[in-house]
Amino acid sequence: MPTLSVFADVPPAQKLEGSLLKTYKQDDCPNKMFLAYKVCMNNEGRPWVSSVVRQIRPQIMQDPSLNHEYRPVMGMKSFLQASLQLLFGKHSPVIVENRAGGVHTVGDSGAFQLGAQFLKTWCCDYQIVYIISSQKEPHGLVFQDMGFTVFEHSFWDAKHLCMDPNMLLDVVEAPHGCIFVVGNLGNCKLTQHQWAKLLATMKSKQIFPFFDIPYQGMFTGDMEEDTRFLQYFVSGGFEFFCSQSLSKNFGIYDEGVGVLVVVALNNQLLLCVLSQLMNFTLALWRNPPTTGARIITSILCNPALCEAWKQSLKEVVENIMLIKEKVREKLRLLGTPGSWNHITEQQGSHGYLGLDSQQVEYLVKKKHIYIPKNSRINFTCINARNINYITESINEAVLFTSDSKKGVLQDNGSQLE
């Protein structure tokens, strides 16, 4: 008699991502290109790793004093201190007053998993989460699984091809006592007056901020500038959480190093929050992996290595800006219809091309250039070897779809006659 499996009624999960990459890998075209990698690429088309990381990693591995004992549940103290000072600055009030702390988390979503669990348990009145970013964020699923009601909004205005700061300013529509998960604020330019209005509304509505800092230093090349917006909330007397990812800006993607940062009104409140987070951490992963944390700590705590690392980030940002400028200029020289200034107006390695679904489909099916349906690509995937093919293909896609639309309008006009 056959044994019935306990998993017999388990269906395959809905595919959330990866189908584009799978299609790309199955494509036999020798000229195929994938422009949606998550990691930063170098000029050779390989994942970028900071030269300082390559220098320090062998030294750590060969250190005879290194042991492999379990590390503290919260993470290495030196790592957490260095990470917090990187985020806020050594002389920030939250550092000086000892009211900022952190927990070493696992992977890109670990901080959101831990933070969401804490908020669900200890802040029961906060049931609604607004996720506001320049793209659809995967951590929305984390909050949904925790039972929060989640609303997602994007800064990107596809109609006008720009980032719309009004999406963040429309907090007047948000209910009292909700959570704002905000990411990629570097692309959302607010005036001093707008910042003051935003903070006043959030405070009056008791909105709890949960920030996402996925790659500090890779937006503008300036560490302080990339997190300057946090100072508004610090000076405004806000308490908040922050997901600080340290994998991308060091180029150690497989290490998945992050920190859940907590800012409280005073040290006593901070210690209470951290104690509860430690209990959740014991249940989730107990002890964080330390290889990535050791690499980061060794660099941040050595002034010469830290300066060299910051310089490597500036070079990456300068290269990204140069790539965008070249793409925009080549499209202009090709006479591609439309304005392409939005390409250089966006900061960071990823940005929107501003193509519609028909143009994206043309690139994928006709030119074997794989990009997401929203046309948000990784500009570091473009280099000297492929930029001409990519820009010529974009021009071709725009012209083809323009001709198609004209043909449809002419046909409709003939029918009316």
Report pLDDT digits (tens) over 59-73: 998 888 888 888 899
Query: Tens digit of pLDDT for each residue in 87-106?
Result: 999 999 999 999 999 999 99
Task: Considering only residues 405 and 408, tell me which one the structure prediction assigns the higher pLDDT.
Answer: 405
Answer whether residue 1 shows pLDDT above 80: no
Q: Which residues neighbour 347 within 8 Å (Cβ) at sequence distance 6 or greater? A: 186, 187, 219, 220
What is the DSSP code (8-state) at residue 172?
Answer: G
Q: Which two tokens stand for residue 105?
A: 């988390």
Answer whether residue 415 shows pLDDT above 50: no
Answer whether residue 405 shows pLDDT above 70: no
Interatomic CA distance for residues 167 and 165, integer angstroms: 5
Q: What DSSP line would sit under 122-146, residue for residue?
A: H-TT--EEEEEESS--TTHHHHHHT
Answer whether residue 410 shows pLDDT above 70: no
Q: Residues 32, 364: contact at Cβ < 8 Å? A: no
Determine what percent of the chain falls in helix, strand and coil, rounding each to the nearest 5: 50, 15, 40
At residue 416, the pLDDT reads: 43
Alpha-carbon dihedral angle through residues 215, 216, 219, 224, given to the nearest 10 degrees: 170
Query: Tens digit of pLDDT for each residue in 307-321?
Result: 999 999 999 999 999
| Mean pLDDT computed over 332-346 | 95
Percent of the chain residues past pLDDT 90, beyond the cut: 77
At residue 351, the pLDDT reads: 95
Poorest-pLDDT segment among 104-118, 149-163, 180-194: 180-194
Answer whether residue 18 shows pLDDT above 90: no
At residue 296, the pLDDT reads: 97
Q: Which residue has the tokens 């930063």?
A: 40
| Mean pLDDT computed over 328-343 | 96
Answer whether residue 411 shows pLDDT above 60: no
| Mean pLDDT computed over 30-53 | 94
At residue 16, the pLDDT reads: 56
Answer whether residue 142 shows pLDDT above 90: yes
At residue 17, the pLDDT reads: 54
Alpha-carbon dihedral angle through residues 59, 60, 61, 63, given to the nearest 10 degrees: 80
| Whole-structure pTM value | 0.92
| Mean pLDDT computed over 257-277 | 97
At residue 15, the pLDDT reads: 66
Report the amino acid identity of residue 12: P
Q: Residues 216, 258: contact at Cβ < 8 Å? A: no
At residue 173, the pLDDT reads: 81
Answer whether residue 151 shows pLDDT above 90: yes
Query: Tens digit of pLDDT for each residue in 235-266?
Result: 999 999 999 999 999 999 999 899 999 999 99
At residue 406, the pLDDT reads: 55
Q: Which two tokens stand for residue 315?
A: 């070079």
